[in-house]
Structure 1
Amino acid sequence: MTTDDVRAGIAAVLDVPASDIADDDNLLDHGLDSVRVMSLVEGWRAGGAEVAFVDLAENPTVEAWTALLSR
């Protein structure tokens, strides 16, 4: 999964342009909440990613999430 893929998924659940989200932005500052994170987790798991809510909550940035989802 690429950085652009992760950013696009986040932008979609937040209903904002992907260009508004920088790699190192704290996603909580953009309004990302636990319900939306779980929605992302479910979608990414459906696509084959092995990721847990706790993993994402530890460091809520595009950069960190891309690293997790790319393993």
Structure 2
Amino acid sequence: MSQTLSPERIRADIAELLGCDPDGIAPDENLVDLGLDSVRIMVLVERWRAAGATTLEFPDLFELPELAHWTALLTGVKA
């Protein structure tokens, strides 16, 4: 979806909003369970749209809030 979004940046952006170490996020862990609420997901949608993921929508992320899914969706690379 975007050439400017790397798996490392996606993980770092999520960790920043969760206030945790990026390495502490397991690829299959539910990010909502970790504390990523709908407002924070919208922050990520806007941030990643600005970085080139122009067709990204909130439901794309909310339907399966896992790092591996989001990374594959945004980059085509598995986390």
User: What 5-or-longer segments of structure 1 have no aligned partner?
Assistant: none
| Aligned residues with identical type, % of pairs | 51
> What TM-score comes out, normalization by structure 1 length?
0.91
Question: Offset at 1:20?
Answer: 1.3
Segments of 4+ moved more than 6 angstroms? none
| Residue type at the aligned position of 2:67 | V
Q: 1:29 corresponds to which residue?
A: 33
Q: Deviations over 1:13-46 (max 9, x none)?
A: 1111111101110001110000000000000000
Structure with higher helix content:
1
Question: Offset at 1:8?
Answer: 0.6
**Structure 2: how far apart are the matches of 1:58 and 1:24?**
14
Q: 1:17 corresponds to which residue?
A: 21
Indicate yes or no: 2:75 matched with 1:57.
no
Q: How many residues align?
A: 71
Q: 2:73 corresponds to which residue?
A: 68
Equivalent residues of 1:13, 1:36 under 8 A apart: yes
Aligned residue runs from structure 1 range 42-53, under 5 A: 42-49=46-53, 50-53=55-58
| Residue type at the aligned position of 2:14 | I
**Structure 2: how far apart are the matches of 1:29 and 1:3?**
21
> What TM-score comes out, normalization by structure 2 length?
0.83
